[in-house]
Amino acid sequence: MWRKGIDITEAVFRLVKSFPKEEKDILTNQIIRCALSIPSTIAEGFGRNSNRSFIYFLAIARGSLYELETQLLLAERFHYITDDQLMRVILHLTQEEGKMINAFSKTLH
């Protein structure tokens, strides 16, 4: 899960490079923050050494994942995204990540 979160973050950084300059300080920053939050939150939860805490942090990471998907769809709607293939790759990765987080969370209960 953590590694896929890293992959998502790397792809997001590549994607937002093509956003319009005037957008760099608004949606771009929020998209990057969400992407960074996914693997960071998973790592923090793992470091807590408690299943209960890890489940909590996985839920936060899942929230960041859904927030990222929403912001990417908005950026696409605003025509900020010029690399459709990379966008599809990211959305595929986020769907896989969501499934992994859900499945792993169930094993911790």
Q: What is the mean pLDDT of residues 8-12?
A: 97
> Which CATH number does the domain housing residue 62 bear?
1.20.1440.60
- Return the pLDDT at 109: 84
Q: Which domain holds residue 71?
A: 2-108
Written as six digits, the tokens of 39 are: 């693997």
Global pTM reads: 0.92
How many independent structural domains does the chain possess?
1
Tokens 């489940």 map to which residue? Answer: 55
Task: Kindly tell me if the per-residue pLDDT of 92 is higher than 90.
Answer: yes
Categorize the per-residue pLDDT at 22 as very low, low, confident or very high, splitting at 50, 70 and 90. Answer: confident
Buried b vs exposed e over 46-79: b needs ≥16 C-beta within 10 Å? eeeeeeeebbebbebbbebbebbbebbeebeeee
Q: Assign residue 20 a region: left if phi > 0, alpha if psi is -120 to 50, beta otherwise? A: beta
